[in-house]
């Protein structure tokens, strides 16, 4: 079956902008109609998109996803391992549900609590994210940057915080007005550069690696995502994509 970009976006529950971005970075390249007016996706591209979305759900970066999908042999091995991990996670979640049911029936619940502790031990499930977690820590966990931020912000008065918050909100409002453009558009990129300067002025020296990490954080941390999306539906993802392009 053949899908146009808007049809596939609706089917997959993602934005047209996301599909265009995947095309732009070479992650998911559709075919073109003869007159080049439409992007067309066949069953092969749909399957690849499902793999991409699955890997994103497991917190892999787009670069990591691209590497995984390059080798058919590696894909088969990888997805078998991921399936085993998901089955284990399913079993643990069922154990948690059972323990909760038992706890509601027991007042003392000593034995039940022991079962709960065992059920909530997710260390084995999270092991496959170790590499990604370490990478993220390096990107936005720079202790020198946070030390600098703490040193600066402890001197701020109430009026300073009002100014900084207003400036940050103004950036988000301005960027939201540009969401009809591509994340790599020059106007969007100029706006992102201004945001990086704002962080440097207000908090700490925003080196490119830190900025790249912040872009990832905006879509992996629900609190950041929700806060940014107050200014526009899907703004966090749009900003994350724009920062990724800026940092290339």
The string of pLDDT tens digits covering residues 97-115 is 776 666 566 544 445 445 4
pLDDT tens-digit profile, the chain (248 residues): 888 888 888 888 888 888 888 888 888 888 876 666 678 888 888 888 888 888 887 767 788 888 888 876 666 777 777 777 777 778 777 776 776 666 566 544 445 445 444 444 444 444 433 433 343 344 444 446 556 666 777 777 878 888 888 898 899 999 999 999 999 999 999 999 999 999 888 887 888 888 888 899 889 888 888 889 889 889 999 999 999 999 87
Please give the Cα distance from 109 to 205 (Å, whole number): 51
* Residue located via tokens 């966990």: 141
* Residue located via tokens 């067309």: 40
Per-residue model confidence (pLDDT) at position 194: 93
Per-residue model confidence (pLDDT) at position 225: 87
Smallest CA-to-CA distance from 153 within 202, 224, 201, 198 is with 202
Q: What is the three-state SS of the chain?
A: CCEEHHHHHHHHCCCHHHHHHHHHCCCCCCEECCCCCCEEECHHHHHHHHHHHHHHHCCCCHHHHHHHHHCHHHHHHHHHHHHHHHHHHHHHHHHHHHHHHHHHHCCCCHHHHHHHHHHCCCHHHHHHHHHHHHHHHHHHCCHHHHHHHHHHHCCCCHHHHHHHHHHHHHHHHHHHCCCCCCCCCHHHHHHHHHHHHHHHHHCCCCCHHHHHHHHHHHHHCHHHHHHHHCCCCCHHHHHHHHHHHHCC
Task: Evaluate whether 16 touches 5 at the Cβ level (below 8 Å).
Answer: yes
Task: Evaluate whether 79 touches 43 at the Cβ level (below 8 Å).
Answer: no
Structure tokens that stand for 100 in this block: 């909760």
Per-residue model confidence (pLDDT) at position 217: 87
Please give the Cα distance from 203 to 60 (Å, whole number): 28
Please give the Cα distance from 207 to 196 (Å, whole number): 9
Per-residue model confidence (pLDDT) at position 31: 84
Edge-to-edge strand order for the sheet containing 31-32? 3-4, 39-41, 31-32
Q: How far lies 15's CA from each of 118, 202, 233, in Å?
A: 39, 33, 11
Please give the Cα distance from 75 to 91 (Å, whole number): 24
């Amino acid at each position: 079956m053949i899908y146009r970009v808007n049809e596939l976006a609706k089917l997959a529950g993602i934005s047209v902008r996301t599909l265009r971005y995947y095309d732009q970075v070479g992650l998911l390249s559709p075919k073109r109609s003869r007159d080049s007016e439409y992007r067309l996706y066949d069953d092969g591209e749909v399957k690849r998109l499902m793999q991409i979305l699955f890997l994103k759900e497991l917190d892999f970066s787009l670069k990591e996803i691209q590497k995984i999908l390059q080798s058919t042999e590696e894909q088969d091995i990888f997805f078998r391992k991921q399936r085993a991990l998901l089955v284990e996670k399913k079993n643990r979640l069922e154990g948690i549900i059972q323990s909760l049911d038992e706890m509601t029936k027991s007042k003392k619940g000593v034995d039940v609590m022991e079962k709960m502790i065992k059920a909530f031990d997710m260390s084995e499930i999270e092991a496959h994210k170790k590499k990604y977690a370490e990478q993220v820590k390096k990107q936005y966990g720079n202790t020198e940057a946070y030390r600098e931020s703490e040193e600066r912000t402890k001197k701020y008065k109430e009026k300073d915080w009002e100014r900084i918050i207003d400036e940050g909100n103004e950036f988000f409002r301005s960027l939201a007005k540009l969401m009809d453009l591509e994340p790599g558009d020059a106007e969007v990129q100029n706006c992102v550069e201004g945001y990086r300067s704002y962080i440097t002025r207000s908090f700490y020296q925003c080196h490119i690696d830190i900025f790249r990490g912040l872009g990832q954080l905006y879509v992996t941390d629900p609190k950041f995502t929700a806060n940014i999306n107050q200014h526009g539906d899907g703004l966090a993802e749009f900003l994350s994509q724009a920062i990724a392009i800026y940092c290339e």
